[in-house]
Amino acid sequence: MDFVFTDEQRMIAETAQTFFAENATSERTRAAMATDGIDHALWQAFCQELGLSGIGIPEAAGGAGLGLVELAIIAEAAGAQVAALPMLGSLALVAQAIAAGGSEAQRSEWLPALLSGETIAAHVEADDLVAEGDSLTGSSAFVAHGSAAGLLLVSGAGGSWLVRADAPGVSITAQTTMDQTRPFARVELAGAEGEPLADPHAAAKAATEAGLVTLAADGLGLAQAALDRTVAYARDRVQFGRAIGSFQAYKHRLADMMVEIEQARSAVYWAACAVDEGSEEAALALHAAKSFCADTAFRCAGDMIQLHGGIGFTWEHDAHLFFKRARALQTLLGKNDWHREQIAAMVLGETA
């Protein structure tokens, strides 16, 4: 029992925090929002210069090794800046799925391209998928960063397939999305050729674990940054002759944010450790972390707007970026009520 960062983890955290704070600026994020929702220069720098893109992928598969704790550290740092990056789809979902469930050939073909940032991948969860052999027909309207993807991982009908975005039968349409830092695309497959993953079960498990931890950590970083920025504002802004942060009605709300965030922090690292250590609590921890952190992020982002007053409602201020990202966290990879229902079934002893 030693639930605290190791020196190496602390170093990764500092490196990632500095990198994103310096580079994922509001200006650059806004520029990315006006295009396909990705700061491509930042993504290249993250993948190639920082060398952290392979974290959570085994070294044998060409990754950097380490585990979900380290992946969470990175996602948290990126989330704090609301960075416009395809981390969720490309690294957490698709690269993890290929590393865990892909064949040797699939791994050597795709992982280097994904980890170097050369290819961006997106995950397509198609509820209506029909697979005739490896010819896929189906669609999803909510594929995060789908427009930028060169590679799609299509899941449904009990399997997972790799599909090239430029293959015949694939059409991708960008959607105007509330959260412009993670815009959705509509992906339609009409008899598109897919290459099946060797072990779709292992792929889905790894992708879900990494995806939920990434989202939870993203929400944690976002919530903490919303609090930090609002605290800074509370100290500077003077009204009625006092810093507004001295008023109880104001400071108590900030304190409540901190109470939630400290729990969210425990949730993220509990879930990440539980997966890394193969604990039997892992499934429960993942459902808990995702639902709790998404709710915390939404509450803190909403409070950020409220506590900034009118300026927080404007396009000019960053609060709306936090708020919209937090809203998207509520639904990505399952609604929070759904995750809690899974937990209820577990604790009520209804699951096998």
Task: Report the half-sphere exposure of 103 (CA within 13 A, side-chain side).
Answer: 9
What minimum distance in Å lies between the beta carbon of 148 and other proteins? 33
Q: Which region, judged by CB under 8 A, interacts with other proteins, from 154-162, 212-220, 261-269, 306-314?
A: 261-269
Considering only residues 9 through 48, tell me which ones interact with other proteins, judged by CB under 8 A: 9
Q: Exactly one of 41, 105, 190, 344 binds other proteins (CB under 8 A); which one? A: 344
C-alpha span between 133 and 123 (Å, rounded):
20
Query: Whose CA is closest to 274, among 349, 213, 344?
Result: 213
Q: 190, 225 in Cβ contact below 8 A?
A: no
User: How far is it, in rounded angstroms, from Cα 115 to Cα 124?
Assistant: 19
- Total binding residues for other proteins by CB under 8 A? 50
> Does residue 254 bind other proteins (CB under 8 A)?
yes
The neighbour count for residue 260, using CB atoms within 10 Å, is 19
Q: Mark residues 201-240: x for contact with other proteins by CB under 8 A, - for none.
A: --------------------------x---x--xx-----
273: which 2 tokens?
């450790």
User: Considering the rule CB under 8 A, would residue 277 count as an interface residue with other proteins?
Assistant: yes
Half-sphere exposure of 282 (CA within 13 A, CB side): 17
Please state the closest distance from residue 184 (CB atom) to other proteins, in A: 27
Q: For the chain, report the end-to-end CA distance as a whole number of angstroms.
A: 29
| Helix, strand or coil, per DSSP, at residue 344 | helix
- If one asks whether residue 172 binds other proteins (CB under 8 A), the answer comes out as no
List residues binding other proteins (CB under 8 A).
1-6, 9, 69, 227, 231, 234-235, 242-243, 245-246, 248, 251-252, 254-256, 258-259, 261-263, 265-267, 269-270, 273-274, 277, 279, 281, 284-285, 288, 291-292, 337, 340-341, 343-344, 347-349
